Structure 1
Amino acid sequence: MKSDRSLTPQLTVSTLQCPELLAPAGSWDCAKAAVENGADAIYFGLDRFNARMRAQNFTEADLPELMAFLHLRGVKGYVTVNTLIFPQELPEVEQYLRSIIAAGVDAVIVQDVGICRLIRHLSPDFPIHASTQMTITSAAGVEFAQSLGCQLVVLARECSLKEINKIHQQIRQKETSLPLEVFVHGALCVAYSGQCLTSEALGGRSANRGECAQACRMPYELIADGEVVNLGDRKYLLSPQDLAGLEVLPDLVKSGVTSLKIEGRLKTPEYVANVTRVYRQALDRVMEELTANTPKARKPSHAAEEQYNLEMAFSRGIYTGWFNGINNQELVHARFGKKRGVYLGEVTRIRNEQVTITLEAPVKAGDGIVFDAGHPEAKEEGGRVYAVVQKGKEAVLTFGRSDLNFRRVHIGDRVWKTSDPELDKQLRQSFAGDNPQFQRPIDLEIYGEVDQPLTAIARDGQGHVVQVDSTIPLVEAHTKPLTTERLHEQLGRLGNTPFCLGKLTNHLNGALILPVSELNRMRREMVTQLEELRRQPKRWELNDHASLQNLLPKSSPKSPTSPSLIVLVRNLKQLQAGLQAGIQTLYCEFEDPRFYREAVQMVRQEAGGREQGAGENIKNAQYPTIWVAPPRITKPGENWILQQVRDSQADGYLVRNYDQLQFFTQDRCVGDFSLNVANALTADYFHQRYGLERLTASYDLNISQLEDLLHSCPPQWFEVTIHQHMPMFHMEHCVFCAFLSQGTDYTNCGRPCEQHEVKLKDRVGSEHVLKADVGCRNTVFNGTAQTGAEYVQRLIDLGLRHFRIEFVNETPAQVSKTIHCYSQLLRGEITGSQLWRELKLQNQLGVTRGPMGVSALR
């Protein structure tokens, strides 16, 4: 999409609201670091069902204490239940959710459609936030989340400011007034969250289950038309720089975004403290400037300090991500995929066990550095600086004896500062000890007149109100009356409490006085009462009689029909091979939907030919049907692509997202794997509400979980993909544009995707196919096909009748051979093991058993 920096503010200055600053917490120390550095809310996982299973996480038993601590400090706490839930886990999740709701948690962040339904069944008012794992990129996605009972939507990270504004505008027009949250800082997944199957494909570790193996941070070679492309030191082709939205904060505030989220539940407390503090100060500064209507540029000193702190916190390079639109040259520099820190300069001389560098940033004794020779995949030399002598723009660095192998340091090496102990110490001090260090304002109103008590009414930012009256009446003051200044001084002594004094309004009638000791007592009483109110858990409605069983669909008798083979093809030659093989149901997923018309005509001609050949048996003749697939992502302004798909007048559509559910609502539709149907509650929702003829079972399910799904729902609802090249990464980042052109996006890249066959070669030598779609989004397909052939008979016995096989770049001959084998399998003429051996012998195909056979113990 085009970059557009001239954005029209959506809100007037008078209606501007300061967005919530939401920080990550993977541990107690992280929670304290967030609170003490100004977070308005934190999000954290428990020990199950969250998308960061490698974090330390909290337990259900921690919830009462954690929520009391947060609420005392005026901070909200959101629990992440942002993974897909498998059928056998539903009863456990139900109890889990009851504990979360009863503990007074402020909201739960959810990916699974069925879990949204379950929460709303258990409680009519408990807040649900639609996770970024739900891949919401449009107003239709927001409406979908609202239909599930969600109160807030976390947009996909790939949304630009222009698109965020458009979504806001569209949901206001439709009165879909859900607040929107966006990620403002941290690591960027290269693939759309909720749509990355790489870890699943390569090792049965699902990103949709919190087990991402970070394959995007690994080196790859680019192969175009069979030849390795020389990219110099650029090897990390799928590793984006880290997101930093600091420079677009004013635009984010003006867009009306409700919450700004910092990524990092696997990061250290120092990271949380550092990044939270930077954004708290910057956000307060932006709000002050915007409400005063005097926007100013960031002072150079502010900007330099913020940049330094953010890079020292964690940095693979920092960048505005997709906020300013797409720039494929800048998003991924491709030179490393791990933390670097602050760039110090380049080695210019090595002499007498001292290293001289050109100095681009400050360095001091005690700092940790690393020398970058352009091979980040290898062990790199580094150590702590013992002494620094600065000479103009150069610095001579001395290291401890034997700390450095100088033979591994070279002139021209880039030098990075990876550690700043002084900064780390300062950050740790910000959340050390038990006394509050970050205080939130309370407003006071003071009333009274002579011979009456002094009344103080205190209000905090969470809506709590307390009133305290003096036990001594006010008397007329002859000297030193209770002026606003004196009241502010005496009642503002709130050290070691969670509060600081905000606005004080003095309504005293006349010149009055009260003993200081009584004012002090009143202040302590106000604090005590406010703290007591804050500690009380939120009381959400929780229906004790609601049951998971009431939501589950009823089973139905097995279909008497024979198993059928569905074939998905990606070009016209493959389609022709599928037709010649006699396939009755064909799916087309072409890079360019304009070719769908030709595909539909080809199938209709085949049907006409079969009709002519049927003669007297015309009533029993079977004609092929063709279903076509729109792209997996739909963003604002892209409905023209959906219209182009519909113009093909296919028999039906393979729907992948919320826009398509809405757009093709009057048409025959099958739900694809990208809808992430992993349990009966999700399946029932899509089947009943949208009338989908079939649903493709999630690719995250292994065989036992798939069997559980078929036991818990009518099996005729489903189709299962039993042969495919797993679509691993699906991403906004265009590898074609970034590395085969000088362009920034589709407007100036020259369309190398239309001229070259491209593969990505990984560290173990596997070559994965790269494809672009009409929206210029890329998919990396596993170079090795995966088969579930050995489980087909078990699935048939359970009543499953629809089996899909998918092709990517196979030749028509390979397509024909593969279809023949699977047709034999479904007719019972060969076993799954025989098919497996038969296809494995075709070296050019390459087949593995894939994650369907991975143990359920993940």
Structure 2
Amino acid sequence: MKNTKNPELLAPAGDLASALTAFDCGADAVYAGLSCFNARERADNLSIDEMSKLLEYSRRNRKKVYITFNTLIKEAELEEAAGMIADLYRLRPDALIVQDLGILRLIRDYFPRIEIHASTQMGIHNSAGVKFAALSGVKRVILERQLTLEEIKAIAISSDLELEVFVHGALCCSLSGQCLFSSWIGGWSGNRGKCKQPCRRRFYASDRDAFYLSSGDLCSLEMIPEFRKIGIASLKIEGRLRKSDYVKNVVSAYRMALDAAPGEENAVFRKAGDILMNIPGRKFIMPLKNSSSFSGFIRHTESGAQGKLCGTAVSPDRNGFYALLSGRLHLGDRVRVQNADCEDEAVSILVTKMNLDGLPAKKALKGQECYIFSDKRVTKNSSIFRVGESWDAMKSRTDALPLSRTALDIFIAVNTDGFKISVTNPGTEKSWHKKINIENAMKHSLSQEALANEFKASRSETFESGKIETEISGSLFLPSSELKRIRREFWEWVDINIKPEEMKGSHSSMLRNFLDNYKKSGPLQTASPILTVHGTVNAPGTEKPIRSDYLHEINDKTDEIILPHFCPEAKLRELAGLIKNSYSRGIRKYRITSLYGICLLADYHDIKISSSFPLPVCNSLAAEELKSRGFDKTQAWIELEKDALERLISKSSLPLEIYRGGTPFILCTRAETAIEGSVRDAAGNRFTIKKDKFTGLCFIYPEEAFFIPAVNGASAEFYSSDDISVNEKLTSPFNFNRIFA
């Protein structure tokens, strides 16, 4: 039975000030990242000391902090990533949000007390995917953004795992974790937190041009009652690239709506909606209630630029530019100036000085012409978008926040003779005894839960409670006032008798355990690579390749089935039936392209399973996780460069396949596009937009075919060609010869 209480309100925190603002305005939790290994590396993000301060503040105020560790991790980065996780383990965050299967395995097996949330970048979009997450030790799934309310309801009914959904903010045009667009054109991967948002550009077709891939912003205010009814655990606001002014307004609006009294919902929702409408941003799309909602997902007639249009640059010079305003502007506002000659070029400016009629001014209004001082180049007739307002950086407040206290793990034993409390942190073998006569209970006996909850409270400036274990011998009665007194005496004893520097962190031993095991791991001995092909591909070699087909392509020549990378909840049963039919036809080889497929194939014990694009495997821990799930082979992630591929091969315990050539998609969406066929961007890059008649998904393909050289040590090679025309004279090695950033 799902809990129908108010869901958690989860806010973005691109910096410490935004986190405090979110808590001040009613957020129950925030999500934030460090300087690397998070999907918003362009945000300010937090230092390890700032994260320590935030976690200490949140615990003292009964809030929560989830740390984003949601990028793909290359083999060469595993040891650094493990070291960072060990540091975070010491700080005791409420959860880590992860995308990479290898990082999931690392946390679960070596740092088991860290709660794991599956990032939306994992692409979990149906109940079979949620089931996989539950079996893998995940406590919460952040669902794919492109799901309808109907689909979310169906998933919630089928699972007891906590579910989190995005309710507000910018949307990716692509299905989560499956966009290679930014990576393809320049090596800036969205799966590594470096997306350049090429989908927001203007694209040119033969007879028209538009923003064919730019989605509107999400606003799900009206769906709060439905989310509450189906038991969604957390409502997530997007926006770690935004500042405190945005966080303040959005969190305040959603807090207001969540707390609306019965009978007053309509009036409160209107008031909250007015707040949201005045925030600089793109126009809102309708909430995704059902499949027809995807027709309005992309706003192809509107600029992909974020913010409210507030003027035009009419006369730039070397010190700044004159701006004719169509909306008000204040000192401290942040503006984005879109180049009039090239919409792909823009500069961001913080308005720190401006003149009105030649005199310094704090604000300028609609219809006025002001001069904005800036050292950045602005072209005449460029559009000016206000993307943020002045905000309080809270420097004095953030500077004064204390660092996280040292966590003390304790074991509390209680019997009729009193208390014995042992400190259980590694290297700290000290105990405190309190002799007291405790009577047997007549009615209200002391519970283990009440005992643990009481000792969680610590007034110590140095220590706070960590893991608390309890043992009560018999049915005992102890007045609450006496229990509080004993708890205070214990923590006073701790401050006098235990020093933080004496304690050996368990995180250090966990890290050493991982590093020792990692150094022992090594590669497989391989023979000549096995060749697999899909589609019409002229693959090299003289031996007959394995023929791989999708379920709708199955024929007498099919050796292997490729499962679809996206299967809506309503189609799961049908897909399971098609798999059963293929098995009855003698098929014993299957390719899994999304995590949900693992559960669909779980009951077939005499089959061979491979992973395949777009299921990412970037490191040997991810390969090891798939091996433990019965995989016989795994395909290296297509974005990896040569060095990363070679390092992965050198450590993988599972036979490794290299995707060597074909026509992989670089973006996939459920949204309806206004055009199909060939388009180009302002830089002359050409792409094909095509809707697939079998899945209903829309795919974006580059003009060039993909091809890379053979990689030494690979166990298998894969070639695939979708039914798409490409310029056969053009090939691209993708990131093979450059760094996958």
Q: TM-score, normalised by structure 1?
A: 0.64
Would the aligned equivalents of 1:587 and 1:629 in 2 still touch at CA under 8 Å?
yes
Distance 1:718 1:565 in 2: 12
Is 1:544 the counterpart of 2:513 in the alignment?
A: no
The residue aligned with 1:802 is: 716
Percent identity at matched positions? Answer: 26
Q: 1:720 aligns with which of 642, 658, 667?
A: 658
Distance 2:101 2:243 in 1: 31
The residue aligned with 2:738 is: 854
The residue aligned with 1:643 is: 577
Q: 1:327 aligns with which of 249, 269, 293?
A: 293
Is 1:194 the counterpart of 2:177 in the alignment?
A: yes
Alpha-carbon distance change, 148 to 365 in structure 1, aligned in 2, over 3 angstroms = closer
Would the aligned equivalents of 1:273 and 1:430 in 2 still touch at CA under 8 Å?
no
> CA RMSD, aligned part only?
4.3
Gaps of 5+ in 1: 1-9, 172-176, 223-227, 345-352, 388-395, 437-458, 469-524, 604-624, 741-756, 815-842
Q: 1:568 aligns with which of 525, 528, 534?
A: 534
Is 1:340 the counterpart of 2:307 in the alignment?
A: yes
Q: Counterpart of 2:59 in 1: which secondary structure?
A: helix
Is 1:780 the counterpart of 2:700 in the alignment?
A: yes
Q: 1:252 aligns with which of 227, 231, 247?
A: 227
Task: After TM superposition, give the deviation of residue 658 of structure 1 in Å.
Answer: 2.5
Would the aligned equivalents of 2:549 and 2:562 in 1 still touch at CA under 8 Å?
yes
Task: After TM superposition, give the deviation of residue 61 of structure 1 in Å.
Answer: 3.4
Q: 1:676 aligns with which of 586, 610, 616?
A: 616
Task: After TM superposition, give the deviation of residue 369 of structure 1 in Å.
Answer: 9.7
Would the aligned equivalents of 2:180 and 2:189 in 1 still touch at CA under 8 Å?
yes
Alpha-carbon distance change, 775 to 61 in structure 1, aligned in 2, over 3 angstroms = same
Would the aligned equivalents of 2:617 and 2:634 in 1 still touch at CA under 8 Å?
yes
Distance 1:156 1:676 in 2: 16
Task: After TM superposition, give the deviation of residue 579 of structure 1 in Å.
Answer: 12
Instruction: Report matched runs for 1:400-439 at 5 Å.
Output: 400=369, 418=386, 424=389, 428=392
Task: After TM superposition, give the deviation of residue 132 of structure 1 in Å.
Answer: 0.8
Would the aligned equivalents of 1:656 and 1:671 in 2 still touch at CA under 8 Å?
yes
Would the aligned equivalents of 2:130 and 2:596 in 1 still touch at CA under 8 Å?
no
Task: After TM superposition, give the deviation of residue 646 of structure 1 in Å.
Answer: 5.2
Q: Counterpart of 2:569 in 1: which secondary structure?
A: coil
Return the letter of the residue paired with 1:699: I
Distance 1:51 1:678 in 2: 16
Distance 1:370 1:213 in 2: 15
Instruction: Report matched runs for 1:127-166 at 5 Å.
Output: 127-166=115-154
Q: Counterpart of 1:30 in 2: which secondary structure?
A: helix
Q: Counterpart of 2:739 in 1: which secondary structure?
A: coil
Would the aligned equivalents of 1:110 and 1:116 in 2 still touch at CA under 8 Å?
yes
The residue aligned with 1:265 is: 240
Alpha-carbon distance change, 552 to 276 in structure 1, aligned in 2, over 3 angstroms = farther
Return the letter of the residue paired with 1:212: C
Instruction: Report matched runs for 1:586-605 at 5 Å.
Output: 586-589=547-550, 593-594=551-552, 596-597=553-554, 600-601=555-556, 603=557
Q: Counterpart of 1:852 in 2: which secondary structure?
A: coil
Instruction: Report matched runs for 1:427-576 at 5 Å.
Output: 428=392, 542=507, 544=509, 546-550=513-517, 554-555=521-522, 558-560=525-527, 562-569=528-535, 574=536
Distance 1:167 1:26 in 2: 30
Q: 1:658 aligns with which of 568, 590, 595?
A: 595
Alpha-carbon distance change, 65 to 566 in structure 1, aligned in 2, over 3 angstroms = same
Would the aligned equivalents of 1:308 and 1:342 in 2 still touch at CA under 8 Å?
no
Would the aligned equivalents of 2:323 and 2:372 in 1 still touch at CA under 8 Å?
no
The residue aligned with 2:5 is: 17
Would the aligned equivalents of 2:254 and 2:272 in 1 still touch at CA under 8 Å?
no
Would the aligned equivalents of 1:385 and 1:400 in 2 still touch at CA under 8 Å?
no
Distance 2:254 2:338 in 1: 30
Distance 2:75 2:399 in 1: 46
Alpha-carbon distance change, 464 to 28 in structure 1, aligned in 2, over 3 angstroms = farther
**Residues 433-480 of structure 1: CA deviation (Å, up to 9, x unaligned):** 5899xxxxxxxxxxxxxxxxxxxxxx99x9678999xxxxxxxxxxxx
Task: After TM superposition, give the deviation of residue 370 of structure 1 in Å.
Answer: 10
The residue aligned with 2:678 is: 759
Task: After TM superposition, give the deviation of residue 642 of structure 1 in Å.
Answer: 4.9
Q: Counterpart of 2:614 in 1: which secondary structure?
A: helix
Would the aligned equivalents of 2:524 and 2:652 in 1 still touch at CA under 8 Å?
no
Return the letter of the residue paired with 2:549: C
Task: After TM superposition, give the deviation of residue 732 of structure 1 in Å.
Answer: 1.6
Would the aligned equivalents of 2:9 and 2:29 in 1 still touch at CA under 8 Å?
yes
The residue aligned with 1:688 is: 628
Q: Counterpart of 1:770 in 2: which secondary structure?
A: strand
Return the letter of the residue paired with 1:338: A
The residue aligned with 1:753 is: none
Task: After TM superposition, give the deviation of residue 808 of structure 1 in Å.
Answer: 3.2
- Structure showing greater radius of gyration is 1
**Residues 83-128 of structure 1: CA deviation (Å, up to 9, x unaligned):** 1111122222222111101112111111111211211222333211
Is 1:220 the counterpart of 2:203 in the alignment?
A: yes
Return the letter of the residue paired with 2:735: P
Alpha-carbon distance change, 628 to 65 in structure 1, aligned in 2, over 3 angstroms = same
Q: Counterpart of 2:597 in 1: which secondary structure?
A: helix
Q: 1:93 aligns with which of 72, 81, 89?
A: 81
Return the letter of the residue paired with 1:16: T
Gaps of 5+ in 2: 312-321, 358-364, 374-378, 401-448, 459-487
Distance 2:700 2:277 in 1: 35
Distance 2:256 2:677 in 1: 46
Alpha-carbon distance change, 124 to 132 in structure 1, aligned in 2, over 3 angstroms = same
Q: TM-score, normalised by structure 2?
A: 0.73
Task: After TM superposition, give the deviation of residue 672 of structure 1 in Å.
Answer: 0.6
Q: Counterpart of 1:140 in 2: which secondary structure?
A: helix
Distance 1:626 1:579 in 2: 19
Task: After TM superposition, give the deviation of residue 706 of structure 1 in Å.
Answer: 1.0
Q: Counterpart of 1:51 in 2: which secondary structure?
A: coil
Q: Counterpart of 1:769 in 2: which secondary structure?
A: strand
Distance 2:620 2:457 in 1: 51
Task: After TM superposition, give the deviation of residue 566 of structure 1 in Å.
Answer: 2.2
The residue aligned with 1:629 is: 562
Is 1:52 the counterpart of 2:52 in the alignment?
A: no
Return the letter of the residue paired with 1:331: F
Alpha-carbon distance change, 116 to 372 in structure 1, aligned in 2, over 3 angstroms = closer
Instruction: Count matched residues.
Output: 618
Q: Counterpart of 2:267 in 1: which secondary structure?
A: coil
Would the aligned equivalents of 2:21 and 2:247 in 1 still touch at CA under 8 Å?
yes
**Residues 129-155 of structure 1: CA deviation (Å, up to 9, x unaligned):** 111111111111112112221111111
Distance 1:656 1:23 in 2: 31
Would the aligned equivalents of 2:125 and 2:144 in 1 still touch at CA under 8 Å?
yes
Distance 2:161 2:345 in 1: 48
Distance 1:371 1:64 in 2: 36
Return the letter of the residue paired with 2:708: G
Distance 2:264 2:18 in 1: 33
The residue aligned with 2:101 is: 113
Q: Counterpart of 1:637 in 2: which secondary structure?
A: helix
Task: After TM superposition, give the deviation of residue 671 of structure 1 in Å.
Answer: 0.9
Q: Which moved more, 1:372-381 or 1:145-154?
A: 372-381
Would the aligned equivalents of 1:113 and 1:148 in 2 still touch at CA under 8 Å?
no
Task: After TM superposition, give the deviation of residue 199 of structure 1 in Å.
Answer: 2.0
Task: After TM superposition, give the deviation of residue 559 of structure 1 in Å.
Answer: 2.9
Task: After TM superposition, give the deviation of residue 419 of structure 1 in Å.
Answer: 6.8
Return the letter of the residue paired with 1:93: A
Q: Counterpart of 2:679 in 1: which secondary structure?
A: strand
**Residues 619-671 of structure 1: CA deviation (Å, up to 9, x unaligned):** xxxxxx62232321122111214533653544522211123222233143221
Task: After TM superposition, give the deviation of residue 849 of structure 1 in Å.
Answer: 2.6
Alpha-carbon distance change, 379 to 397 in structure 1, aligned in 2, over 3 angstroms = farther
Task: After TM superposition, give the deviation of residue 302 of structure 1 in Å.
Answer: 0.8
